[in-house]
A and B are shown apart, each in its own frame.
Chain A
Amino acid sequence: MQTYDLEADGLRGLNAALHAQTNQTRWEIINPKGSHAIAVGLDAPIDVTVKGSTGYYCAGMNQQATVRVEGSVGPGVAENMMSGEVIVEGDASQYAGATGHGGLLVIKGNASSRCGISMKGIDIVVHGNIGHMSAFMAQAGTLVVCGDAGDALGDSLYEARLFVRGSVKSLGADCVEKEMRPEHLALLETLLERAGADAKAEEFTRYGSARKLYNFDVDTSAAY
């Protein structure tokens, strides 16, 4: 285990060290104190634990690595993640998992607005609630919410799959409730288990795209 004091040794040194191909596979970052861009652009199967809360874009564009934050995260955690895992023990601010292509993002607290915006294949599991406009223009991947969802869930949704256990304040344009089939239950069970979420797949409702906005139609122009 390599310990890195972010306050003492600086951000550039941290990310440079994490990018370097060394034999060190376990890292602990102390004194993050809300710093931005911690552990971004990783591309190796290493384990990184952040001992505290972070600012913007923690674990941005992650590949292969497992990043665990023992605190809360600012906007854009794991944005554009390609693979690996990011686990947040606390809450997440806006845009969690934005545009992510792959990997698993777990938020054990609540996530703010626009969680999973433009997601492109990432799987996101939120143990708590999510804010408004989540999964906006979400293209692919799965968003699982064990609590409630805010306004306009899944607005302008493409092919991403959304599962919510609690209430949904409102659905966005072209987002509809859908039948929960066996393959969805199986997918959900796997994700809940991987995310350590204490919930049963049968308790969730599935939402997806009605696919009515995929090609422009003047008769539905008010929905755009």
Chain B
Amino acid sequence: MTQTDDTTPRTVPIQSETFSNAVNAEIRRAAETGIYDIRGGGAKRRVPHFDDLLFLGASVSRYPLEGYRERCETSVTLGGRFAQKPIELDIPITIAGMSFGALSGPAKEALGRGASAAGTSTTTGDGGMTPEEREHSDKLVYQYLPSRYGMNPNDLRKADAIEIVVGQGAKPGGGGMLLGQKISDRVAEMRTLPKGIDQRSACRHPDWTGPDDLEIKILELREITGWQVPIYVKVGATRPYYDTALAVKAGADVVVMDGMQGGTAATQDVFIENVGIPTLACIRPAVQALQDLGVHREVQLVISGGIRNGADVAKAMALGADAVAIGTAALIALGDNDPKWEAEYQKLGTTAGAYDDWHAGNDPAGITTQDPALAARLDPVDAGRRLRNYLKVMTLEAQTIARACGHNHLHNLEPEDLCALTMEAAAMARVPLAGTDWYPGKPGF
């Protein structure tokens, strides 16, 4: 064997794709602490998404609308199937359910202010309805969750709609967790639990199982509220065709489908990254279910999970959704992960844009915290203004695209307006690969 010396060419160190630095760090962390990693937010892994779709725009075969002269409507009505008072929104972008407890009081107030100023709805979360969010939300959707923390018929009757939460995209099949450090006196009182304990939220409802029971539960809620307000059913995206069909069968007015990029306040990282399907993959099967049952547009479909801009809104609606919901993006608009707090993110061992320890209660931006000093950093009026602006921009962006495709209402966007950049996106969205008339699974090929 020949002896090597300093001049002998050598291989460069190669990091393993399988055992990457991030993977190895997690192994060491688990070995040291003996507990799985809990974090907030949705899936961070790369998955097929709206970025993998493009609009075709107008051409010889279609003519566009003049952007500054011809109107493009944005209103949407949710819940007209059975409710006597469906929700009328100016824009098809709603605020997803996020709890007081997970979020600070000022953050909840800001969500209500911003949504109301933009003409849309906001949603309560685990833990019930606070007077502040009811006061600042013109249209408030009351979540009916497995834990029933803070569940109160008086609040139920104050709601503009009821959302029965079966699951959420970040953790379909999983319950919730609010760690003890965020259980302030007020949060503990609202949830009827001791201060400082880790609060587990059940993964399934305590008094019904399965679609036949759900139908009876919906009947009960309608009887209590006099058939006045819409009832949504929210599911985490897993089996979108069947879940949508069963929700419709059970009597839902609105189906909310949340993809795996949808955020959570606190769940195991392994759950967030490995359970559920991408938002892009759940829309067409859900729409198909509605069409097969003859209720597309009669039962509205709200899509959430990774909606960031007007293009995402327009793409979701072109695929058949009636509206979208945003959570993570709304928090960013309020000020979450803002680089102005970089020095404090560094102290927490992270960086702006990557901060996801929403369960820990140390949020420098004052949003995912119950610490009074941190929460005071968020001005609900100013944060509400930012959210309102952001919602307006998203709407303008979606209108711009719709006009370019020749539509005078966002609801007129259709799959034929789209093409896909990748095979995966083409298969999931069931729109042709760009420059072709083919997508995987297309009948006749």
Which residue numbers of A lie inside 8 Å of B, CB to CB? 11-12, 15-16, 19, 36-37, 40-41, 43, 55-57, 60-61, 63, 75-76, 79-80, 82, 94-95, 98-99, 101, 114, 117-118, 120-121, 136-137, 139-140, 156, 158-159, 214-216, 218-219
- Chain B window 202-226, contacts with chain A (Cβ cutoff 8 Å), 1 for yes, 0 for no: 1000111000010011011001111
Residues of A within 8 A of B148 (CB): 80, 99, 118, 120
User: Which chain A residue shows the least CB distance to B33?
Assistant: A218
Which residue numbers of B lie inside 8 Å of A, CB to CB? 33-35, 147-148, 151-154, 156-157, 180, 191-194, 196-198, 200, 202, 206-208, 213, 216-217, 219-220, 223-227
A57→B216 contact, CB < 8 A: yes
A40→B224 contact, CB < 8 A: yes
Q: In the complex, A32→B34 CA distance in Å?
A: 55
> With A36-B216, A118-B147 as given contacts, are A16 and B197 in contact (CB-CB < 8 Å)?
no
> With A15-B223, A37-B216, A158-B193 as given contacts, are A76 and B207 in contact (CB-CB < 8 Å)?
yes
Q: In the complex, A60→B153 CA distance in Å?
A: 10
> With A80-B148, A95-B206, A216-B35 as given contacts, are A140 and B220 in contact (CB-CB < 8 Å)?
no
Contact of A76 among B34, B193, B208 (CB under 8 A): B208
A218→B194 contact, CB < 8 A: no
Residues of B within 8 A of A56 (CB): 208, 213, 216-217, 220
Residues of A within 8 A of B225 (CB): 41
A75→B207 contact, CB < 8 A: yes
Residues of B within 8 A of A158 (CB): 193-194, 197
A61→B224 contact, CB < 8 A: yes
A117→B153 contact, CB < 8 A: no
A101→B192 contact, CB < 8 A: yes
Residues of B within 8 A of A61 (CB): 153, 156, 224
User: Which chain B residue shows the least CB distance to A224?
Assistant: B200
Q: In the complex, A101→B200 CA distance in Å?
A: 18
Q: In the complex, A99→B157 CA distance in Å?
A: 18
Residues of B within 8 A of A216 (CB): 35, 198
User: Which chain B residue shows the least CB distance to A214?
Assistant: B197
Residues of A within 8 A of B226 (CB): 15-16, 19
Q: Least Cβ distance of A48 to chain B in Å?
A: 14
User: Which chain A residue shows the least CB distance to B156?
Assistant: A61
B contact patch SS: loop
A214→B194 contact, CB < 8 A: yes
A137→B197 contact, CB < 8 A: no
A60→B220 contact, CB < 8 A: yes
Contact of A55 among B147, B194, B200, B216 (CB under 8 A): B216
Contact of A82 among B152, B207, B216 (CB under 8 A): B152
> With A37-B216, A118-B202, A214-B194 as given contacts, are A99 and B207 in contact (CB-CB < 8 Å)?
yes
Q: Least Cβ distance of A61 to chain B in Å?
A: 4
User: Which chain B residue shows the least CB distance to A56?
Assistant: B216
Q: In the complex, A99→B148 CA distance in Å?
A: 7
Contact of A37 among B34, B151, B213, B220 (CB under 8 A): B220
Residues of B within 8 A of A121 (CB): 192
Q: Least Cβ distance of A121 to chain B in Å?
A: 6
Q: In the complex, A36→B202 CA distance in Å?
A: 25
Residues of A within 8 A of B147 (CB): 118
Q: In the complex, A114→B213 CA distance in Å?
A: 16
Q: In the complex, A101→B156 CA distance in Å?
A: 15
User: Which chain B residue shows the least CB distance to A60?
Assistant: B220
- 5 nearest CB pairs, A to B: A41-B224, A218-B34, A214-B197, A76-B207, A99-B148
Q: In the complex, A101→B217 CA distance in Å?
A: 18
Q: In the complex, A215→B181 CA distance in Å?
A: 10
Residues of B within 8 A of A118 (CB): 147-148, 202, 206
Between-chain CB contacts (< 8 Å), 9 pairs: A15-B223, A19-B226, A57-B207, A60-B220, A80-B153, A118-B202, A136-B206, A158-B194, A218-B35
Task: Give the most central of B34, B156, B197, B224: most A CB within 10 Å.
Answer: B224
> With A37-B220, A121-B192 as given contacts, are A82 and B206 in contact (CB-CB < 8 Å)?
no
User: Which chain B residue shows the least CB distance to A97?
Assistant: B207
Q: Least Cβ distance of A91 to chain B in Å?
A: 17
User: Which chain A residue shows the least CB distance to B149?
Assistant: A120
Q: In the complex, A79→B206 CA distance in Å?
A: 9
> With A80-B151, A80-B153, A99-B151 as given contacts, are A215 and B197 in contact (CB-CB < 8 Å)?
yes
Q: In the complex, A117→B208 CA distance in Å?
A: 12
User: Which chain A residue shows the least CB distance to B201?
Assistant: A137
A57→B206 contact, CB < 8 A: no
Q: In the complex, A38→B124 CA distance in Å?
A: 28
Q: Least Cβ distance of B207 to chain A in Å?
A: 4
Residues of A within 8 A of B196 (CB): 215
User: Which chain B residue shows the least CB distance to A114?
Assistant: B206
> With A36-B216, A114-B206, A139-B193 as given contacts, are A215 and B34 in contact (CB-CB < 8 Å)?
no
Q: Least Cβ distance of B194 to chain A in Å?
A: 7
- Taking A56-B213, A101-B151 as known contacts, 12 extra A-B pairs with beta carbons closer than 8 A to each other, sorted by chain A number, are A11-B223, A36-B219, A37-B219, A56-B216, A61-B153, A76-B208, A82-B153, A101-B192, A118-B202, A136-B206, A216-B35, A216-B198
Q: Least Cβ distance of A116 to chain B in Å?
A: 10
User: Which chain B residue shows the least CB distance to A81?
Assistant: B153
Residues of B within 8 A of A137 (CB): 200, 202, 206
A57→B220 contact, CB < 8 A: yes
Q: Least Cβ distance of B157 to chain A in Å?
A: 8
User: Which chain A residue shows the least CB distance to B177?
Assistant: A216
Residues of B within 8 A of A114 (CB): 206
B220→A40 contact, CB < 8 A: yes
B193→A215 contact, CB < 8 A: no
A40→B223 contact, CB < 8 A: yes
Residues of B within 8 A of A36 (CB): 216, 219-220
Task: Give the most central of B147, B151, B156: most A CB within 10 Å.
Answer: B151
Q: In the complex, A15→B220 CA distance in Å?
A: 10
User: Which chain B residue shows the least CB distance to A99?
Assistant: B148
Q: Least Cβ distance of A54 to chain B in Å?
A: 12
Q: In the complex, A82→B152 CA distance in Å?
A: 8
Residues of A within 8 A of B191 (CB): 139
A159→B219 contact, CB < 8 A: no
